[in-house]
Chains A and B, each alone.
Chain A
Amino acid sequence: METGTGTGTTRAQHRFFILCVAPSLAVLALITLLPSLYLLATSFTPLSLTRPETLWDFSTPLENYSHLLQDSRLHNSVWVQIKLSFWTVLLQLLIGLALALLLNIRSRLLEALRTVFLIPMVLPPIVVAIIWKVIYTPDISPLHGLLGLLGWNVPALITDPDWALTAIIIADTWEWFPFTMLMVLAALQMMPQELLDAAKVDGASPWQLTWHITLPFIKGVLLVAGLFRLIDSIKAFPLIFILTEGGPGNVTEVTNYYSFLQAFNFSYLGFSSAITVALLAATVALSWLIVRLVGWGNKID
């Protein structure tokens, strides 16, 4: 009897909780799910702003997706995206991790230095893009000016097809390595000191401490930071918009930027939606795969 009453109370509580969160869930669904569903629906139409009759035209629902397969410029943009994401995520993780390990010491100077390192991340992305535009424009660039004084005439990186993507990677890495650094620093400061002390008692060298204790401890944080940066790199926009507009030619044209062009410069909203849906699916699949392969980090014994 008691159990039955208990179960009944639990169920009632459960129903009450559901009722409490239902309005929030409904608002959340309205804000996130509906636009996504609308995006999915438009991807099945040839919607073009100049032809309003195409809004609910589902007569050839897979046409946009078949265009995706034939569009060589889109395929190129995916390859550019892969290169950009790979290098920016890798460099941001390595630099962020290295700096976090170096700065994980209690000292006033290093604490001030940590704040300085955070500046790029808190600047508005457009400001970051403008800073790098100045750096990369030879006739107004302090960098080019300095190199010129030393007798090195470096060509404009953002208009050189061999360097343009590298220029974007450098700027993006500068902007976002502090994110990894911050996350790793937070994790390091939560690491139990006794783990390190025990290892030291066992005679572990600093390198062994880092490799066998610190890195396994922050592995999960690194994975989360990497995932965040990966997803964000797929959304790369301001740097490309301001610095290169996808050029020269299509050297820095990532998929996200190509989708923007299709929607807002050419009015092909249906096709742009199809690109975005494919991009979203790829991002989700990639994130899932990474989590499956790497795991969320192991507890240290």
Chain B
Amino acid sequence: MRGPNRRAILRSAGGASVLASGLLAAPPILAQTKSAFAGTTINASCFQTTYFEYLKAYLPEFEQKTGIKVNFTMQAFPVYNQRTDLELSTRGSALDVCNVTFIYSGRWIGAGWLTSLDSFTKDPKLTPADWAPEDFAGGPQSAMQNAKGETFGFTWEAGAMILAAARYDLIEKQGLGLPRTFDELIKVCDAVHNKDNVAAFTADKLHHWNWIPYLMGVGGNVFKAPPENLTPTLDTPEAAQSAEWYANLLTKYGPDGILSYSDDQSMRSQMSGRANIRTQAITWMVPLAKHAESTVQKTVRYGLMPEGPKGNFPGSNSHGLGIPAGSRKKEAAWEFIKWALSKETVSMIVKNHGYPSVCRLSVINGPEFKQVLTLNGQDVASLFLEVLQLGGKTGYMKYRTVPVYPQVGDKINKAMERVATRQQAAPAAFKQAQTEALQDLQKAGIKVDL
């Protein structure tokens, strides 16, 4: 028998080294997962959002690397929440990855409908150290945890409320600047309202998100001491005074029909130059400077949410990806979350698409993020970070993650509409909201101070 000749040995050695170098170059986790998950299909769902619209374009890359096929569906925000609420409550296995919506996070985590992700992040075989769970900003991430500190989701979006003046040129013309206090906001609105046919202020109809920073700014709150004491505090003089003030802001300075405006309509009113100032999450503000259809790209300016006599409480929220308790493909689901929220993927979405509201600190602090969020010469990235830090410091946003917030929020929306349309005076409207909220909380089995 002839032994291997020199040429054959060299050829096989060369082949082996090429193979070895290829394996070394591939991320170890993906190399390991390709065979383990080949042929697996997972179902993921979220509400309609640009982050996942962008991400969907890269899904084939993930599918090729891991062998996991992803059915990713998106619905309108309320539709997604209702469907997922029902799906999670049945503990069914229709979904493997879901968006953990901020206002529902307390309810879904509290009811045990989501899987704790700690077992995945603490296992080095499932999660490499450089994936770094601690890299997610603490403020937004707190909504994804229970009282024991267990994690049920990782955030892909941090909404930070800022102020945007779509037609800052009109404000400048009046010799004024961006409003920094509630009083200044009224002064600016008074000065620019209907100048050049532009309404001074705009907002969407989600008053239980938009109004609360104004309520807190005058010393009010939604609950006594959330999340421990959920006794509503909607019948206080602060609430009545603030509601009157905010309703006036909407009706006196807003475009006609403002009370029916959705998020998108409100953004469009600014983009088309029909309305000027809005205080809302950054996701709705950046398109004013970046969207191809925006007519106010050059005139928009950004600032912090104005502060009230009791301080500044800009809203911040977050949405994360989690795994439903009923999923039968949890490890494959985790592979997807790991990829979708890895530093590389998040960084790529920021770099390629200019997505503004990410949660990875390493990306937020990086030069690309700063470059993407330097709008008309303004460092909007710093504003974003400042709001996230404000929310994380004192935890004033906890009111919004309690399981009963959808019910109480509805009462706030209705009361604000009654005040704004002069059906009721603010004290009466919010007294009614308090009574209804108390009834609802008792129905939900929540103990309240009576």
Residues of A whose CB lies within 8 Å of any CB of B are: 46, 48-52, 67, 71, 73, 136-139, 155-156, 158-161, 243-251, 261, 264-268, 271
B175 at the A interface (CB under 8 A): no
State the Cβ distance, B270 to closest chain A Cβ, in Å.
12
Q: Chain B 173-208, CB within 8 Å of chain A: the 1/0 string?
A: 000000000000000000000000000000001000
Which B residues are in CB contact (< 8 Å) with A73? 436
Please tell me which one of the listed residues B256, B406, B407, B414 contacts residue A249 in the complex, with CB atoms under 8 A apart. B414
Structural contact, B444 and A50, CB atoms closer than 8 A? yes
Q: A73-B436, A248-B421, A249-B423 are in contact. Are A158 and B444 (CB under 8 A)?
A: no
Q: Are A247 and B259 in contact (CB under 8 A)?
A: yes
* Residue numbers in A under 8 Å from B424 (CB-CB): 249
Chain A residues in 8 Å Cβ range of B445: 48, 51
In this assembly, does B110 line the interface, its C-beta being within 8 Å of a C-beta of chain A?
A: yes
Question: In angstroms, how far is the closest chain B Cβ from the Cβ of A267?
Answer: 7
Q: For the complex formed, measure the closest distance between the CB of B313 and the CB atoms of chain A, giving whole angstroms.
A: 25
Query: Least Cβ distance of A260 to chain B in Å?
Result: 9
Interface residue B440 (Cβ < 8 Å from any Cβ of A): yes
Give the complex CA separation of A138 and B261 in angstroms: 11
Contact B423 A247 (CB under 8 A): no
Docked CA distance A227–B390 (Å): 58
Whether B440 pairs with A266 at a CB distance below 8 angstroms is yes
Q: Is the CB of B107 within 8 A of A50?
A: yes
Assess the A248–B423 pair: CB atoms within 8 A.
yes
Flag if B406 contacts A266 (CB, 8 Å): yes
Q: B107 touching A264 by the CB < 8 A rule?
A: no
Identify 14 residue pairs between A and B in the complex whose beta-carbon atoms are under 8 Å apart, listed by A's number. A50-B110, A139-B255, A139-B269, A156-B259, A159-B257, A161-B421, A247-B205, A248-B421, A249-B424, A250-B418, A266-B407, A267-B85, A267-B107, A271-B443
Interface residues of chain B, those whose CB is within 8 Å of chain A, are 82, 85-86, 89, 107, 110-111, 205, 255-260, 265, 269, 274, 403, 406-407, 410, 413-415, 417-418, 420-424, 436, 439-440, 443-445
User: Are A161 and B423 in contact, with the CB atoms below 8 A?
Assistant: yes
- In the complex, what residues of A have CB within 8 A of residue B205's CB? 245, 247
Among A67, A136, A159, A264, contact of B85 (Cβ-Cβ < 8 Å): A264
Residues in B whose Cβ lies below 8 Å from that of A51: 111, 445
Residues of A within 8 A of B415 (CB): 249
Separation of A249 and B440 alpha carbons in the complex (Å): 17
Instruction: Name B410's contact: one of A50, A52, A243, A261 (CB within 8 Å).
Output: A261
> Are B417 and A247 in contact, CB atoms less than 8 angstroms apart?
yes
B194 CB → nearest A CB, Å: 12
Once the chains bind, are B82 and A265 in contact (CB under 8 Å)? yes
Contact status B260-A50, CB under 8 Å: no
Chain A residues whose C-beta falls within 8 Å of the C-beta of B269 in the assembled complex:
139
On whether the beta carbons of B86 and A159 are closer than 8 Å, the reply is: no
